[in-house]
Structures are given as structure tokens and as C-alpha cells.
Amino acid sequence: MLANSIPLLTPQHWKDYELIDCGDFEKLERFGDHVLIRPEPQAVWPKGLTEEEWTKRHDIRFKGRSATSGDWLRKRPGLPDRWHINYRNADVSIRFRLGLTSFKHVGIFPEQAVNWDYIAETVKTFRTKRPKVLNLFAYTGGASLIARAAGADTTHVDSIKQVVTWANENQALSGLSDIRWVVEDALKFVKRELKRGNRYNGIILDPPAYGHGPKGEKWKLEDHIAGMMKDVVGLLDPHEHFLILNTYSLGFSSVIVENLVRAVYPQADNLETGELYLQATAGSKLPLGVFGKFRKIGQP
């Protein structure tokens, strides 16, 4: 008997982003007009291009000083700390401010464009006139911007004030308004929303493997995700909804995500689980997380 194949999904609409190559624990990426070299722990295979080609093509390289911080080395003077890129699909268009942070991130996770397309398509398909969408662990707001641009009443929750401020800046750059910004521990926010009896038509979770809330609350994915998912599904509107769970953890598989969703919400319609990846121009596929998603569209 043939085993079921696991969906492997990669973004299809990026013009301002390109994974050029990856390997030897690094990745060579183009964000708009600038090409960066950053560490990548999943890229355990050899590079597709030569070191000479990497040196020739990159503008800025991240060099780590510790496990959590490092410095950006520019190949020539005048290269910016901040710049802008766009994302557009068939339904919406948004704009981001990128920046060189001390912990190697630039303010966007490009593989999440797969989920953005799903959000935009689903919100546009909903019969609810102004669906409510909740984005948890929302970072600089890619999913929040997409949901709002598609017409949803959007709530953005993250425990770090600086990234919520960054997301607000992205909202302005995208010509959007009225996203609700919440700086709070996601677990606490969900429990409070349950007590209030609030419901959402869409919920997005992109939790880190490890993290801390604004008051030092500790988050460890494998310890907390089951309990959180049990609470989160209680916030779903029973008539029309979608849910996306994305996990970036070396210990998680799509089977784990499937079991987790089925356990807390066995009535999930159209459940799909699989892996997100970025396709390098040089040939390799870079795995960047496991997802689970399902939706229910209201009847006419």
C-alpha cells in the first residue's frame, strides 16, 4: 500500500525575495536590492555555488559572536541598516521595513508567504462580512497585514513591544489602518479572551521553540503547545473559521502537528499538514517549518 505523501509548499509570488543558495550551515538570500549571507542550522549539505561566487554576490554578511548575537559585515560603505520590500499575490499587496538586527533576523520569514496566501484567499472567500482574525506570536506582522488587507478585523498579539512597534510601521507602509495591537503573553491573552466569550473567524499561531513573555513568562513549545491549542480552538467561530499552526522546531514533524490538531479539534474540516521550504535558485530545498491548517466556509 502506498503511503500518503506529505505536502511540501514553497512561496510562489515573491518578486522581492530570492533564496540564491544554501549549504554548509549558511544561506545566501536576496531581499530587494541587497544580498545577505546568514547562518542556517538546517543547511547541513554542501553549498551549490562556490565560495568565490558567494563572496562575489553578497553585500552584507552576518558573523556571530555568540549563540544569540553577532555583527553585520558590509562589503562596501554606504549599505543601509534599513530598507523596504513588497509582497503581492492575487488578492493583496503589502510592504515591509527590513532591518539588520543583532540576532541575525531582518524582520521577515519569507517561507510564511505560503500561509499569507492561504489567509488572504480564505478571508476573501468567507461569507462573514468583516471576519475577525487573531494573530498570535505575531512578530512584525506579515500575517496581520495580509488579513487586514483582505478585509479582516485583525488583532495582533506579541510579547515584545519593539516588534509590535515594527509591525505598526509596516501597517503604515502598507497603507493599512485599524489593526488592534496587543503587547502581552499569548497564553494569557487567549485565556482572557475565552473568559470574555470572544470568538474569531481566523487564528494564526507561529510560536517560537523557546521564548519569554513581557513579565518573564517562559515558553517552551513542546511543554505548552498542547494546552494552548486546546484553549485556542475554543475561540474559533463554529460556523466559519480557519486555523494555521506553524512550528519551527527541529523536533516537530507533520505527524505531530496532525495528532495535536486532531486531539483538540477532531471536527476540523480539510485538515492539511506538511512542510514549508524555500527553493534555492542553485537547486537545494531549505526546510523551514511544519504547518497544520484547516478551514470551514459558511453555507449560503
Counting every residue, how long is the chain?
300
- The answer on pLDDT for 134 being more than 70 is yes
Residues near 22 by beta carbon (within 8 Å), at least 6 away in sequence: 28, 40, 43, 47, 48, 278, 280, 282, 284, 286
Percent of the chain surpassing pLDDT 90: 83
- pLDDT at site 298: 86
The three cell numbers of residue 76 are 562596501
- pLDDT in the model for residue 89: 95
CA 158 – CA 141 distance, rounded (Å): 9
The kind and range of the H/E element at 121 are helix 113-125
Helix, strand, coil shares of the chain as percentages rounded to 5?
Answer: 25, 35, 40
Cβ atoms of 228 and 187 within 8 Å: the answer is yes
Per residue in 244-296, pLDDT (tens digit) is 999 976 678 899 999 999 999 999 989 999 999 999 999 999 999 999 999 99
- β-pairing verdict for 17-23 and 26-31: antiparallel
Which residue in the block uniquely carries the three cell numbers 503589502? 94
Could you count the other beta carbons within 10 Å of the beta carbon of residue 69?
Answer: 11
Q: Which run of H or E residues covers position 222?
A: helix 221-232
Is the separation of the CB atoms in 204 and 136 below 8 Å? yes
* Rounded-to-integer distance, Cα 267 and Cα 281, Å: 40
Would you place residue 1 in the very low, low, confident or very high pLDDT band (cuts 50, 70, 90)? very low
AA letter at 269:
D
Cell numbers given for 2:
502506498
CB 83 within 8 A of CB 33: yes
Distance CA 38, CA 29 (A): 8
Per DSSP bridges, beta strands 241-247 and 132-136 are unpaired
Mind listing the pLDDT tens digit for each residue in 34-93? Answer: 999 999 999 999 999 999 999 999 999 999 988 778 999 999 889 999 999 999 999 999
What is the rounded (10 degree) CA torsion for 244, 156, 29, 289?
-30
Number of Cβ atoms within 10 Å of the Cβ of 249? 17
What is the model's pTM?
Answer: 0.94
